[in-house]
Amino acid sequence: MTMGYWKSHLGVFYVILSAVLFGTMPLLTRIAYAHGSNAYTVAFGRFFFGSIVLGIVCSALPGCSIKISRDQFLALLKLSVPYALMPILLYASYTYIDSGMATTLHFTYPVAVMLIMAVFYKALPDAKQIICAILCVGGMVFLYTPNGQVRIGGIVLAVASGIIYAVYIVLLGKSTAKRLHSLVLAFWISMLSTVEIGLIALFSKKLVFSLDAAGWAAEVGLALFATVFALALFQKGVFLCGEVKASLFSTFEPLTGIVIGVIVFHEVLTAKELIGMISILAAAILLVMPTRKTQILE
């Protein structure tokens, strides 16, 4: 087996690990909400505290300077815009539709990644990737439990959040920023996202600071798990295994949320949810199975 084969599988491991860490967000967000936070403050605090920790870590590690060139800054600025815009669109969709439907619609982004790669980069997905995408989207549909009113505005916002995230994944995979240290890349994406989300939140008067100790602890937890570790791992995974594979394996995130719900909140795992989980796991197993001619879309 070639070195590229093992690099691809290492990338898959990074993406799955990042998805598990991202999957802790619902739990920590729920805690933050219960102690005075809101969607804008959660997003802002996650990137703000994350950029501080990443800055300290980068300064302490040899050969990990946060100094970058003007061209690198412009490349990172281009990456940060869709990354900062995505959670705002997703959180805004919660105003119109329930979070379960919003999450389901958002996690159709692997299909959007495939379409963008095919249309703009002439990188057509192979049959196995198409089947895996169908399994992932089908699994997300099974994981969704109807609750509340369906409004077209919420559907548009949730789908838009997925498309914007797909744009970020593709831009990340093609960016010259891949030559930067993964922690330096995560630092700049976090810091720029902090500024962008902060400006939007201040303009809309949605940023609040009246959190108690538990609320701030949840914000810091989000920064550590969903930014410092998860963001750096996901970026590294995209560079190693490609945009399409990374987007498909990131669907492990909602599985983690369900497991946390069962363990922490004693939620009941329904047969429908179990089918959804099996469908996503089947897609993951199929995707990593070796074929005679392995093609990684980069």
Task: Give the E-state strand segments of the chain in sequence order.
Answer: none
Torsion of CA 183, 185, 191, 195, to 10 degrees: -160
Place of tokens 């084969």: 5
Q: Structure pTM?
A: 0.83
Among 78-87, 93-102, 169-178, 218-227, which is the least confidently predicted range? 93-102
* Structural domain contains residue 130: no
* pLDDT tens-place string over residues 11-22: 999 999 999 998
CA atoms within 13 A on the CB side of 172: 31
Instruction: Tell me what the pLDDT averaged over the chain comes to.
Output: 86
* Structural domain contains residue 8: yes
Q: How many domains does the chain have?
A: 1
Cα dist. 4→15, 18, 117, 164, 246 in Å? 16, 21, 20, 29, 15
What is d(CA 187, CA 53) in angstroms, rounded to the nearest whole number? 8
* Structural domain contains residue 196: yes
* pLDDT tens-place string over residues 255-287: 887 788 788 778 788 888 889 889 988 888 887
* Structural domain contains residue 159: yes
* Structural domain contains residue 160: yes
What is d(CA 245, CA 296) in angstroms, rounded to the nearest whole number? 8
Question: Residue 295: is its pLDDT beyond 50?
Answer: no
CA atoms within 13 A on the CB side of 208: 15
DSSP label of 251? T
Q: Which domain holds residue 163?
A: 3-111+144-242+252-268
What is d(CA 35, CA 29) in angstroms, rounded to the nearest whole number? 10
* pLDDT tens-place string over residues 159-171: 999 999 999 999 9
Q: Give the per-residue pLDDT at 8.
A: 85
* Structural domain contains residue 50: yes
* Structural domain contains residue 173: yes
Torsion of CA 258, 261, 262, 263, to 10 degrees: 120
* Structural domain contains residue 42: yes
Q: Per-residue b/e over 156-189, b at no fewer than 16 CB within 10 Å?
A: ebbbbbbbbbbbbbbbbbebebbebbbbbbbbbb
Question: pLDDT category, 131, cuts 50, 70, 90?
Answer: very high
Backbone angles phi, psi at 105, to 5 degrees: -65, -40
Task: Taking each helix axis as running N to C, give the angle between helix 70-93 and helix 152-174, from 0 to 180 degrees, rounded to the nearest 10.
Answer: 160
Q: Per-residue b/e over 65-79, b at no fewer than 16 CB within 10 Å?
A: ebebeeebeebbeeb
What is d(CA 225, CA 18) in angstroms, rounded to the nearest whole number? 9
Backbone angles phi, psi at 96, to 5 degrees: -110, -30
Q: Measured in whole angstroms, how far is the alpha carbon of residue 247 from the centre of its chain?
A: 9
